[in-house]
Amino acid sequence: MTFVQIIEYETTREDEMEDVFNQWLEATEGKRTLTRDSHTQDRDNPHHYVDIVEFPSYEEAMVNNDLPETQRVAEQFRALCTGEPRFINLEVIEEQA
């Protein structure tokens, strides 16, 4: 069953966030289980972001989470946020085209 995680956070250091994410993409090439990532910005609050990440399953998401590169990036990510990120974990029960 497809697993989706929504990560909501605020930062004033978007350029640094992007650099950290790009480093993670490079470091996890061929290892990561992420199948889709949508990086969004709040139109009414330019420091508020929501990332929507998708994995084939919760189990595959945990494999991705346990990668040393992911753990390193999570620490850097939190340090660049103005507050604690909020994580919402969702099992996809139905999809419509």
Helices (H), the chain: 14-27, 58-65, 68-80
- The per-residue pLDDT for range 2-46, each reduced to its tens digit, is 999 999 999 999 999 999 999 999 999 999 999 999 999 999 999
The pLDDT assigned to 22 comes to: 95
* Mean pLDDT, residues 68-90 taken together: 96
The pLDDT assigned to 78 comes to: 96
Sheet holding 3-10, edge to edge: 36-41, 48-55, 3-10, 86-91
The pLDDT assigned to 97 comes to: 86
Domain spans of the chain, in order of start:
3-91
Query: What is the CATH code for 3-91?
Result: 3.30.70.100
Cα diameter, the chain: 38
The pLDDT assigned to 3 comes to: 98
pLDDT > 90? residue 70: yes
Q: Apex CA 89: angle with CA 86 and CA 93, to 5°?
A: 150
Residues forming beta bridges with residue 13, ordered by sequence position: none
